[in-house]
Each structure stands twice: as structure tokens, then as C-alpha cells.
Amino acid sequence: MESRFLCPKCRSDLKIRDHLIFATETERGLRGVMLISPELGNYTIIHDDKFNFIEGEHVDFFCPVCHENLAMSDVDKDLAEVLMIDEKGEEYKIVFSEIAGKKCTIKLKDDKIIESYGEDADHYTNFWGVTPRY
């Protein structure tokens, strides 16, 4: 079984075939659908050409099913979260940046960092203690 990605609020599946699907809105009020790769550290995003958000712009992510905002506002206003359940049935929190163009993905288990991806991840990992380095 492949990994599942769920809304943390309603636990609906956000992964349809090869993409995670989000309803989004930019800080300028532009709305659109974003398809994101479920592969952690892959920042390929698919969206309509008319949905032309700007690099560095804050984008709010919403569950397309329950419409809840996925922001982790208690941690940082620029981070959002989804749940991931891997092939073994283990549940993780996947945290990502809501700033367009920022490459940051953090995989958490019980609020401890398991893995982080992306060149901008170091800006955020200190919220959960130090990432182990060897």
C-alpha cells in the first residue's frame, strides 16, 4: 500500500493518484487549486496558468473537503501541515512552507523531527529542537 495523505482536521484523503490536492488563496486574494507531488522534497507544483502567484508570496492552504485552513498558526504563520500514513500504518505530520518558492518539508513523529527536506528547511527545524547531524 502506498502512503496516504490526510487532512489533519477531517482526515479526508488529499492524495488523488499522483498528487496532493489543495484549495489555496494568496495574500492578494487570488484563489486556485494546487497539485503537489506526494514525494517529500519534490517541489513540483501544478496549477492553472491564470493562477499566477508570485515567488515569496504567502499562500494559504485549505482542505478541499472541509475547507479548514491547514496553517500551523500555533507554531509559525508560514507553515502548514498534513498527516501522512506510510505503508506500515505509521502516522506522521508533514509540515511545509506556505511561502511560494520556499523549499521546506519537515516530517514529524510525536513532535520530533524524523526527516527534513529542502534548502530552506533549516529556517524552521528549530521549532522542534535540533535536527540530528552525524
Please name the residue that has the C-alpha cell 502516522: 91
Using the rule CB under 5 A, which residue among 16, 33, 54, 66 binds Zn ion? 66
Give the DSSP letter string of 91-133: EEEEEEE-BTT---EEEEETTEEEEEESTTGGGTTTBTBPPP-
Query: Is the Cβ of residue 12 or residue 52 nearer to Zn ion in the bound state?
Result: 12
Residue 65 lies near Zn ion (rule: CB under 5 A): yes
- Window 11-50: contact mask with Zn ion (x via CB under 5 A): ----------------------------------------
Q: Quick check: 70 binds Zn ion (CB under 5 A)?
A: no
Residue from 6, 36, 63, 82 binding Zn ion (CB under 5 A): 63
Contact between 10 and Zn ion by CB under 5 A: the answer reads: yes
Q: What is the CA radius of gyration of the chain?
A: 14
* Plot region of 111 (φ>0 → left; ψ -120 to 50 → alpha; else → beta): left
The binding site for Zn ion (CB under 5 A) comprises 7, 9-10, 63, 65-66
